[in-house]
């Protein structure tokens, strides 16, 4: 008999299949607008796994990568994480940069940002306001949609999702 870890061998009660090896952390390596700016602007830009500084039509835009977690109803699974980009204003980005190597940076008050990644939902996710919670050194910020946001992503963050839904989301992003 095959060996399985956790309870991943359980038949899904939605589609009656077995969901194996469902991705738990997904997202693009750059903000969506990285690809829409002029190639000349991209030459002037800075992109690391955590930060993007992007000249755009004579202005400078600031992005940071964070984790938007969706709790999954099966405890063995843990959380499903969207690794997404958030646009910050210049003052907020300066605060982030200032606190980047501060061991107490998790004590920073949350910042306001706007989602800069389109995720596979019916309604657009770009531009949704999120609060950006800086965490300890080595951890990317945690992103929280505001309570009362009328969007299925906000509902899923609040209420959690089934493993079936995690498999579906992972499949949609892969296409
Ligand atoms: Zn299923």
Query: What is this structure's pTM?
Result: 0.90
Predicted pLDDT of residue 158 = 95
Please give the distance, rounded to the nearest whole angstrom, from the Cα atom of residue 170 to the centre of ligand 1. Answer: 12
Q: Which two tokens stand for residue 33?
A: 């607008």
Please give the distance, rounded to the nearest whole angstrom, from the Cα atom of residue 162 to the centre of ligand 1. Answer: 8
At residue 171's C-alpha, the angle toward residues 20 and 80, to 5°, is 70
Please give the distance, rounded to the nearest whole angstrom, from the Cα atom of residue 174 to the centre of ligand 1. Answer: 17
Question: Look-up: residue for tokens 């498999």?
Answer: 167
CA distances from 114 to 31, 44, 47, 92 (A): 11, 23, 18, 12
CA distances from 33 to 1, 50, 54, 87, 137 (A): 49, 15, 9, 10, 27
Please give the distance, rounded to the nearest whole angstrom, from the Cα atom of residue 151 to the centre of ligand 1. Answer: 23
Predicted pLDDT of residue 174 = 63
Please give the distance, rounded to the nearest whole angstrom, from the Cα atom of residue 153 to the centre of ligand 1. Answer: 19
Ion ligand 1 contact residues with beta carbon within 5 A: 12, 14-15, 164
Calpha distance 25→77 (Å, rounded) = 12
Residue 54 pairs with which residues in a beta bridge?
61
Which residues, including other chains, have CB under 8 Å from residue 25's CB and lie 6 or more apart?
Answer: 67, 81, 83
Please give the distance, rounded to the nearest whole angstrom, from the Cα atom of residue 12 to the centre of ligand 1. Answer: 5
pLDDT in tens, the chain (175 residues): 333 334 445 788 889 998 888 889 999 999 999 999 988 889 999 999 999 999 988 899 999 999 999 999 887 888 999 999 999 999 999 999 999 999 999 999 999 999 999 999 999 999 999 999 999 999 999 999 998 899 999 999 999 999 999 999 988 876 4
Please give the distance, rounded to the nearest whole angstrom, from the Cα atom of residue 154 to the centre of ligand 1. Answer: 21
Calpha distance 106→109 (Å, rounded) = 8
CB 155, CB 167: distance < 8 Å: no
Question: Look-up: residue for tokens 């910042």?
Answer: 111
């Amino acid at each position: 008999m095959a060996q399985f870890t956790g309870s991943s061998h359980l038949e899904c009660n939605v589609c009656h299949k077995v969901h194996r090896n469902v991705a738990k952390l997904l997202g693009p390596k750059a903000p969506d607008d990285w690809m829409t700016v002029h190639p000349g602007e991209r030459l002037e830009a800075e992109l690391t796994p955590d930060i993007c500084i992007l000249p755009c039509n004579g202005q400078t835009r600031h992005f940071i990568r964070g984790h938007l977690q969706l709790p999954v109803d099966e405890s063995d699974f843990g959380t499903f994480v969207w690794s997404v980009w958030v646009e910050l204003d210049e003052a907020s980005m300066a605060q982030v940069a200032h606190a980047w190597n501060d061991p107490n940076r998790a004590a920073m008050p949350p910042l306001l940002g706007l989602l800069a990644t389109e995720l596979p939902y019916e309604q657009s996710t770009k531009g949704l306001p999120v609060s950006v919670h800086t965490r300890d050194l080595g951890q990317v910020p945690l992103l929280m949609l505001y309570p009362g946001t009328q969007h299925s992503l906000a509902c899923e963050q609040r209420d959690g999702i089934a493993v079936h839904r995690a498999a579906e989301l992972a499949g949609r992003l892969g296409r």
